[in-house]
């Protein structure tokens, strides 16, 4: 019996070493050997958001577009030629200015950045111009067939100062479940976005759930739009029925917003008053 156990152990050891050797060979086969260039943000599903807060008609803002070298070696410089694709709805000289039509990744480096000037003062908040920037060609590398094009979403919003983190608010929510009131916070997230701590104004609390049912809204020239739910126990979404756009009244310090909870049959209206 002892000798049998030894043979079994040796057989298992040989099998393990053999398997490991196979894995090592496969690993060598999968080492990337290409040399390509790509836009760093090209993998974003909706494109690169370039939202600016507009404060004057002459305002400009500069953002940087990053390009990457995709290679295991960085021995040579790569020059990339850039141009706007014909599918762009943004107009050069009206919505943006491409400060350089080429960018070089130096030898020994894996990234470079090219400036893009947004002509913020020319753009109205209701405009939605998109710049589709593409790598027309490259010297020293191939252009990625997947990430060689980048959509830049050029947007502007009005300055927004609805709330600061220390402000106190009283919220009143109405829906088919009744009317509820609660103290809430409205915390700024930047670029006109705010998170409301309990969008239901105490509705869910009345049924034994948490007082934190967060929703984020965007303010653009006093029009409040649902962006997304944050910390919540329920499937709170943008309103599925009219009205869908809320409002901010600076004179009365009042926010009015709308939301839905479809699984529970709720179409809510919440009015928040700053104290």
pLDDT of residue 33: 76
Q: Which residues pair with 248 in a beta bridge?
A: 255
pLDDT of residue 34: 86
Would residue 124 count as lying in a domain?
yes
When divided into structural domains, the chain yields a total of 2
Do 147 and 65 share a domain, yes or no? yes
* Separation of alpha carbons 225 and 245, rounded Å: 5
Question: Hey, what are 226's tokens?
Answer: 């649902």
pLDDT of residue 19: 43
* Separation of alpha carbons 179 and 172, rounded Å: 7
pTM of the model: 0.63
pLDDT of residue 144: 97
| Residue where a domain terminates, one of 124, 157, 190 | 157
* Separation of alpha carbons 233 and 263, rounded Å: 12
Would residue 8 count as lying in a domain?
no
Do 129 and 177 share a domain, yes or no? no
Name residues of the chain where pLDDT drops below 50.
1-28
Half-sphere exposure of 155 (CA within 13 A, CB side): 17
pLDDT of residue 13: 42
Question: Hey, what are 15's tokens?
Answer: 């099998």
Would residue 20 count as lying in a domain?
no
Do 145 and 226 share a domain, yes or no? no
Spatial CB neighbours of 43, under 8 Å, sequence gap ≥ 6: 147
Do 131 and 59 share a domain, yes or no? yes
pLDDT of residue 29: 54
Do 73 and 115 share a domain, yes or no? yes
Kindly report, residue by residue over 92-137, the tens digit of the pLDDT.
Answer: 999 999 999 999 999 999 999 999 999 999 999 889 999 999 999 9
pLDDT of residue 22: 43
* Separation of alpha carbons 70 and 211, rounded Å: 48
* Separation of alpha carbons 224 and 218, rounded Å: 5
CATH classification at residue 217: 2.40.128.120
Kindly report, residue by residue over 244-269, the tens digit of the pLDDT.
Answer: 999 999 999 999 999 999 999 999 99
The range of the structural domain enclosing residue 174 comes to 169-274
* Separation of alpha carbons 269 and 201, rounded Å: 10
Spatial CB neighbours of 76, under 8 Å, sequence gap ≥ 6: 107, 140
Do 130 and 196 share a domain, yes or no? no
Half-sphere exposure of 150 (CA within 13 A, CB side): 26
CATH classification at residue 69: 2.60.40.2030
Question: Hey, what are 137's tokens?
Answer: 């060609």
Other CB atoms closer than 10 Å to residue 81's CB: what's the count?
14
| Residue where a domain terminates, one of 157, 181, 199 | 157
Would residue 208 count as lying in a domain?
yes
Do 52 and 83 share a domain, yes or no? yes
Q: In what order do the strands lie in the sheet with 149-157?
A: 48-53, 149-157, 130-139, 78-84, 102-105
């Amino acid at each position: 019996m002892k000798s049998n156990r030894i043979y079994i152990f040796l057989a298992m050891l040989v099998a393990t070493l053999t398997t490991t050797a196979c894995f090592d060979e496969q690993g060598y086969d999968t080492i990337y050997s290409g040399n390509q260039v790509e836009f760093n943000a090209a993998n974003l599903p909706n494109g690169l958001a370039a939202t600016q807060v507009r404060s004057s008609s002459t305002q400009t803002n500069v953002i940087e577009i990053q390009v990457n070298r995709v290679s295991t070696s960085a021995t040579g410089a790569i020059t990339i030629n850039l141009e706007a694709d014909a599918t762009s709805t943004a107009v050069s000289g009206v919505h943006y200015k491409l400060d350089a039509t080429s960018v070089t990744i130096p030898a020994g480096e894996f990234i470079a950045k090219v400036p893009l000037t947004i002509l913020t003062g020319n753009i109205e908040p209701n405009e939605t111009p998109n710049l589709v920037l593409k790598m027309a060609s490259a010297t020293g590398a191939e252009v990625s067939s997947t990430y060689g094009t980048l959509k830049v979403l050029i947007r502007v919003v009005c300055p927004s100062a609805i709330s600061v983190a220390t402000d106190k608010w009283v919220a009143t929510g109405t829906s088919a479940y009744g009317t509820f009131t609660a103290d809430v916070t409205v915390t700024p997230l930047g670029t006109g976005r705010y998170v409301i701590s309990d969008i239901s104004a105490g509705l869910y609390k009345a049924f034994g759930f948490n007082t934190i049912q967060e929703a984020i809204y965007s303010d653009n020239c006093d029009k409040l739009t649902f962006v997304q739910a944050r910390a919540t126990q329920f499937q709170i979404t943008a309103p599925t029925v009219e009205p869908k756009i809320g409002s901010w009244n600076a004179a009365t310090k009042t926010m009015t917003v709308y939301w839905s909870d479809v699984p529970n049959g709720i179409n809510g209206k919440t009015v928040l008053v700053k104290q």
